[in-house]
Amino acid sequence: MQIQVIFLSSLQQAGALRELEIQFAPPAALEVVGEIWPQDVSRSESTNFTYSVRPTFAPEDTGFDRLEIFTLTRAETVHAVRVDGVTLGSDFPVEILDDRIVVALPKLAGTDDTFKLIEVEFAAHVVRYGTQFQGWVFDSESDGVKQLIDPGDANVDFPGNSLGVRTDELGSNPLAQVRVAPNPFTPNGDGLNDAAEFRFQLHDVSVQRDLIVGIYDLAGRPVRQLKHLSAIRGLFDRGAAVPVWDGRDDAGQPVPPGHYIYRISLDTDAETTSRVGTISLVY
């Protein structure tokens, strides 16, 4: 038995191991191999993936009815799930969580289900070079240990034999796909274009870094700090993660109409990386 412990530390706090619990359970399958395709993707847009899994069962194996896929960021959608070429319907729900997908399957066990191909087609955004789409299978009616999927040749249609993907533009600005809208905006309370949203993506950051989204006047004086947090890669382009400016300063007072500067900055080891632009406010 081998045990690997990976510590992730921030600039303010080091990782620590306080407790280690080891659980043993009968294996769900003799072997489960998987692969993902494609393996070279763009970091600036979502990619449609096929995740393939093929189990090998011994007669005494317990089997499984769930497949869990780690996606790092929240998947946009799951297009289809197939078992041995048959598309599963609504009787087998799919759960999309913030960093993984959990797929319900018909119970697979025994030599009759050996080598049956499981395929999950989904769309997700890759924000880190070398992201591993690790996977597990397990029985939903058991409290046993999830069985890890090993990378291997699960699908003869794809040559990858790997669970990792590579992104383009390695080493470029980690702040990408910056979009500010509406611009100009009109915070007059009529319910139309009352606030501006700052959407962007944060790529290839391996530890927590200070991320600041601020508004300044044309002389460079601070007007409003919209967001200041410790961030580690992600998509700041949906839901509560999107910084919003309502046209007020830090004191809560409406600012005069005109042109303003926005700055999205990220502190890194070497320098402060930023994206700067202008936004207009009219009444």
φ/ψ of residue 190, rounded to 5: -90, 0
- Residue of 238, 243, 253 whose CA lies nearest to 279: 243
Question: In terms of residue numbers, what domain contains 145?
Answer: 31-167
Last residue of a domain, one of 167, 202, 229: 167
* Total count of domains within the chain: 2
Whether 16 is in a domain gets the answer: no
Q: 195 and 160 in one domain?
A: no
**What does the block give as tokens for 62?**
């317990």
224 shares its domain with 115:
no
Identify the domain boundary among 167, 192, 209. 167
Residue 22 domain-assigned (yes or no)? no
* Dihedral pair phi/psi, residue 73, rounded to 5°: -105, 165
Q: pLDDT tens for residues 177-230?
A: 888 999 999 999 898 999 999 988 787 666 677 888 999 999 999 999 998 777
**Do 163 and 212 fall within a single domain?**
no
Q: Does position 271 have pLDDT exceeding 60, yes or no?
A: yes
Q: Say whether both 162 and 179 belong to one domain.
A: no
State which of 147, 167, 187 marks the end of a domain: 167
Residues for the chain: how many in total? 283
Q: Residue 81 belongs to a domain with what CATH number?
A: 2.60.40
Which of 105-109, 145-149, 187-191, 198-202 shows the lowest per-residue confidence on average (mean pLDDT)? Answer: 198-202
Q: What is the pTM of this model?
A: 0.66
> Is 4 part of a structural domain of the chain?
no
Those residues with Cβ within 8 angstroms of residue 166's Cβ, 6 or more apart along the chain or in another chain: 39, 40, 41, 129, 130
For residue 53, tell me if it sits in a domain: yes
Question: What's the CA dihedral at 122, 123, 125, 129 to 10 degrees?
Answer: 50
User: In this predicted structure, which of 103-107, 167-171, 216-220, 255-259 has the lowest mean pLDDT?
Assistant: 167-171
Quick one: 91 and 197 in the same domain?
no
The first and second tokens of residue 129, run together, are: 């070079």
